[in-house]
Amino acid sequence: MKVGFIGLGTMGASIALNAIKGQHSLTVYDTNRDAAAPHLEIGAEWADSPRAVAAASDVVFTSLPGPPEVEAVALGPDGLIEGLSAGTAYFDLSTNSPTLMRRLHEVFAEKGIDVLDAPVSGGPEGARTGKMAIWVGGDKAAFEKYLPVLDTMGDAPYYVGPIGAGAIAKLVHNMSGYVIQAALAETFTMGVKAGLAPDVIFEAVRSGAGGRARTFDRLARNFLPGRYDPPDFALKLARKDVALACELGREFEVPMRLAHMTLAEMTEAINRGWGDRDSRISMLLQCERASVEIKVPEARIKEIMEQD
């Protein structure tokens, strides 16, 4: 298959190399031509613009810093819209705006071109080794048509849903990670200032329940099925633990903003009369604020968990 690739930065360079190593012909473009040297050495062709890449390709992939760059490459002068023809496709691998991808989908559809958002997750090492998730939103038939190319780029291409769905999944993933990162910074600084060495804390907590579980797997037992009775660990006991951590932070003058927000959530849930229910029931408060009901059938959760 004739593949075009635009954006040969930290992630894109490796992804594009994997595509050509997967025996697809490759045409590349980047604002820095030197970035294409490894690709050209193994048979890729250089194009002088996104339009030229598009004209030479059955499918084009972009890996760019963000929405402004994606929009410029897609719709700007000498952009993809001017080079792609009916029956071809455009996948954006960037972490991008679902709103922008929906708009591009509409514009390109007028020319009979499929647009799919396909953000990736795996970091530079995953891009290099191909051990990388690709979350795709768009037409499912187009996803299946180009799956052989996606399979050369990552080991876990996954169809999420309509256009924009891939971007939404990526933003949920990344935002969760950064919120957890901020929480870990709070709790570790509290522990260090209270007298423990960071390596000792790290070694200790890795063996606990949180350390042993995959981050998102913990949603499967209570939050996703909406099952909070009988409790695995009662809310009133969990709130006590968080209150103790906040007290320790105050004692050692460690700012604990996220911890106090968590304590406030738990206190509100206690005031609802939920103290003897599972500690994760405080997550329902956010569901109420967002006007979202979450209740996934047990069979569907089991199906997802068994995919590993």
Least confident of 22-31, 85-94, 108-117, 230-239: 230-239
Least confident of 44-58, 156-170, 197-211: 197-211
Average of per-residue pLDDT across 196-212: 84
Q: Is residue 53 over pLDDT 90?
A: yes
Place 232 in a pLDDT band, splitting at 50, 70 and 90.
confident
Q: Is residue 105 over pLDDT 70?
A: yes
Mean pLDDT of the chain: 92
State residue 290's pLDDT score: 86
Place 155 in a pLDDT band, splitting at 50, 70 and 90.
very high
The values of phi and psi at residue 117, to 5°, are: -90, 130
State residue 184's pLDDT score: 81
Torsion of CA 101, 286, 214, 203, to 10 degrees: 120
Q: What is the reported pTM? A: 0.82
State residue 218's pLDDT score: 79
Question: 117 pairs with which residues across the strands?
Answer: 92, 137
pLDDT tens digits, one per residue of 257-281: 888 999 999 999 999 999 999 998 9
From CA 27, how far away is CA 25, in angstroms rounded? 7
* Residues 289, 292, 293, 295, CA torsion sign: negative
Torsion of CA 108, 162, 53, 157, to 10 degrees: -170
From CA 229, how far away is CA 222, in angstroms rounded? 9
State residue 89's pLDDT score: 98
Domains, the chain, in order of start with CATH, read 2-163 (3.40.50.720), 170-305 (1.10.1040.10)
Q: Is residue 303 over pLDDT 70?
A: yes
State residue 217's pLDDT score: 83
- Nearest Cα neighbor of 186 from 240, 268, 260 is 260
From CA 154, how far away is CA 130, in angstroms rounded? 4
Find out whether 53 and 28 touch, Cβ atoms under 8 Å.
Answer: yes
Parallel/antiparallel/unpaired status of strands 120-121 and 133-137? antiparallel
- Nearest Cα neighbor of 169 from 100, 118, 102, 220 is 118
* Residues 63, 155, 150, 173, CA torsion sign: negative
**Percentage above 70 pLDDT, the chain:** 100
DSSP state of 213: S
Residue-wise DSSP of 168-193: HHHHHHHHHHHHHHHHHHHHHHHHHH
Active site amino acids: 170
Q: Is residue 185 over pLDDT 80?
A: no
Find out whether 16 and 40 touch, Cβ atoms under 8 Å.
Answer: no
**Percentage above 90 pLDDT, the chain:** 66
Find out whether 101 and 126 touch, Cβ atoms under 8 Å.
Answer: no
Q: Is residue 308 over pLDDT 70?
A: no
- Nearest Cα neighbor of 223 from 301, 149, 169, 160 is 301
Q: Is residue 45 over pLDDT 70?
A: yes
Find out whether 40 and 46 touch, Cβ atoms under 8 Å.
Answer: yes
Find out whether 108 and 114 touch, Cβ atoms under 8 Å.
Answer: yes
Q: Is residue 63 over pLDDT 80?
A: yes
AA letter at 79: G
Residue of 244 and 156 predicted with greater confidence: 156
State residue 235's pLDDT score: 93
